[in-house]
Structure 1
Amino acid sequence: MVSTQTIPTASDAYAEWARARRQAVTAPQGALSLVLTHWSAPGEPAVDEAVARDGQPDEALFTRLQRTDIDTGLPQEGYRIWRQDSPAQQAFEDIDRYPYDPAWVLEGRFELVDEQRVVPFEHIRDAGATRSLPVSGDLVFTVDGTEYRLNAFDTVSGGTAKLQLVFGDRTNGAETYGAGRFLFLDRPAESRALRPGDSVALTIDFNLATVPPCGFSNQMNCPLPPLQNRLPFALRAGEKTVRFADGFTL
């Protein structure tokens, strides 16, 4: 008997990924739920949770943050309040995205760089100041015969080691989110210990490019693409912008 079971296609996988993205951003601790990010003065103690929750409903979520102050180098304690009844949640309609395009699934490589290499990233809420982030390697790929090398840094998502790419292209501000987009890739397995300059093959699927969290909440502080991560062409793949109800702005 011939099986009638449908074999999933790349477009099917893309549609499933889009559904998972919608579920993630609308979750209780999804970006749309963030209503407040607060930082204590550098070197000051953390705000008591009861004080932070004052005026918030019982079902609001409370989480803590830590960072280093740009100006003083002192530790800073912060917290966030998440609410699923946030104005952004109520106004959210969808994430607009490009149709799946196999042309933007590129065979490239991840090239390890020196452990001490850091890159200054400007963040959207830091008034032009920069925070130096350690860059673990370069994503190297070719488009129309030209090789591009973009900085990526290590992160963890869902308990899995990832590479995070913060990039811009010619669609930003016209077709896609103005401040650039993110791409998360599984960090490739290494059959041997890599030294700076060594590389490992890596598939780079730009169909999975995302609007950064600051496109869903003005309480997020997203890194902006450094100059070396700004592509000189239009990359029409992945998410474009967040669609809210008419009249709503972050």
Structure 2
Amino acid sequence: MPIDTAPHHDATAEHDAWRQDRRAAVTAPLGNLALVETRWLPDETPATLDEAAAAIAAEQADGVTVTTLRRTHLETGADEVGIRRWDAAAPAVKAFIDVPVFPYDPSWVQTAHFTPVDGSRTVPFEHIRDNGGSRELVVPGDITFTRDGTTYTMSAFDDGGTLLLVFGDATNGVDGETGTYGAGRFLFVERTDDGGFGTEGEVVLDFNRAFVPPCGFSVQYNCPMPPAQNRFAIEVRAGERLVRFRDGFDLYAV
């Protein structure tokens, strides 16, 4: 059930500060809006990647940054390497208005129980640019909570040492003031103690801080999508909704 929160005005102020931090993050030179290219380099290896990236970076205009990335090939399991180009003056940065949110609702600050599992359990997550393919992500435990008489058990994966919940709900893809990003939203899971992934205990799901995934800001991201167990049949009217751009800007035409 929802937990007791700080006085409402304090919680609202904290939520406003979170929104400001989000805006600063997505509009930063290496923020979500700035990503203009993800390019895989089939002729390069992990040993040659840095040199190749440096050569590409030398060709860029001022304000463009080149970084490297790696992944596993979906079918063969082989290592793949590539680069990303970030443009601080990207069209999406210039066209960005804001990300509207639902009004802060303390009832969506939800306590849950984290139960770790032995070993490195993986769960298949379909990714938005993999044409229906799934990638195995490490899910170190189960997150269980009850809301309005219904018990949910969800899977959050290890995102560089932080639990990240990818979830969907009945607001996804809906037009109007209650609609949210069609492919689902992300939420970081907060522990109420100092325990890690290997420790059973209480966690907090503050759905007011649910956020649009990076692929809602740039088509160059390959975001995980909610697995079946992470899809609510109900509306989660909390958190970020949809990215707003100035009239005429089409993210998918960039």
Normalising by structure 2, what TM-score? Answer: 0.87
Change (3 A) 1:54 1:189: same
The equivalent residue for 2:250 is 249
Residue 220 (structure 1) aligned with residue 221 (structure 2): yes
Matches for 1:7-22 after TM superposition, within 5 Å:
9-22=10-23
Residue 162 (structure 1) aligned with residue 166 (structure 2): no
Percent pairwise identity:
49
SS in 2 for 1:150: strand
Asked whether the 8 Å contact 2:122–2:137 carries over to 1, the reply is: yes
Deviation at 1:52, TM superposition (A): 2.3
The equivalent residue for 1:3 is none
Residue 96 (structure 1) aligned with residue 100 (structure 2): yes
The equivalent residue for 2:173 is 173
Separation in 1, partners of 2:32, 2:186: 14
Change (3 A) 1:155 1:191: closer
SS in 2 for 1:53: helix
Asked whether the 8 Å contact 1:34–1:217 carries over to 2, the reply is: yes
Separation in 2, partners of 1:70, 1:43: 18
Deviation at 1:92, TM superposition (A): 0.2
Residue 65 (structure 1) aligned with residue 69 (structure 2): yes
1:163 corresponds to which letter in structure 2?
Answer: L
Separation in 2, partners of 1:187, 1:69: 33
Asked whether the 8 Å contact 1:154–1:163 carries over to 2, the reply is: yes
Residue 78 (structure 1) aligned with residue 82 (structure 2): yes
The equivalent residue for 2:236 is 235
SS in 2 for 1:96: coil
1:167 corresponds to which letter in structure 2?
Answer: F
Per residue, is there more helix in 1 or in 2? 2
User: After superposition, what is the alpha-carbon deviation per residue over 1:92-131, rounded to whole angstroms, capped at 9, x for unaligned?
Assistant: 0000110100010112111112323211111111111111
1:235 corresponds to which letter in structure 2?
Answer: V
Separation in 1, partners of 2:122, 2:34: 32
SS in 2 for 1:241: coil
Separation in 2, partners of 1:192, 1:173: 34
Separation in 2, partners of 1:72, 1:193: 29
Matches for 1:38-57 after TM superposition, within 5 Å:
38-41=39-42, 44=45, 46=49, 48-53=52-57, 56-57=60-61
Change (3 A) 1:192 1:215: closer
Asked whether the 8 Å contact 2:190–2:204 carries over to 1, the reply is: no
Normalising by structure 1, what TM-score? Answer: 0.88
Deviation at 1:67, TM superposition (A): 0.9
| More displaced 10-residue stretch of structure 1: 34-43 or 101-110 | 34-43
**Structure 2 unaligned regions, length at least 5:** 1-7
Separation in 2, partners of 1:243, 1:101: 22
2:162 corresponds to which letter in structure 1?
Answer: K
2:73 corresponds to which letter in structure 1?
Answer: D
Change (3 A) 1:111 1:42: farther
The equivalent residue for 2:5 is none
User: After superposition, what is the alpha-carbon deviation per residue over 1:164-201, rounded to whole angstroms, capped at 9, x for unaligned?
Assistant: 00000000001000000000123454569957xxx301
SS in 2 for 1:231: coil
Per residue, is there more strand in 1 or in 2? 1
The equivalent residue for 1:24 is 25
Asked whether the 8 Å contact 1:104–1:237 carries over to 2, the reply is: yes
Asked whether the 8 Å contact 2:116–2:197 carries over to 1, the reply is: no
Deviation at 1:143, TM superposition (A): 1.0
Asked whether the 8 Å contact 2:44–2:52 carries over to 1, the reply is: no
Task: Tell me how large the CA RMSD over aligned residues is.
Answer: 2.2
User: After superposition, what is the alpha-carbon deviation per residue over 1:147-180, rounded to whole angstroms, capped at 9, x for unaligned?
Assistant: 1011011223xxxx42100000000001000000
The equivalent residue for 1:121 is 125
Separation in 1, partners of 2:180, 2:72: 31
Separation in 1, partners of 2:23, 2:35: 15
Deviation at 1:230, TM superposition (A): 0.6
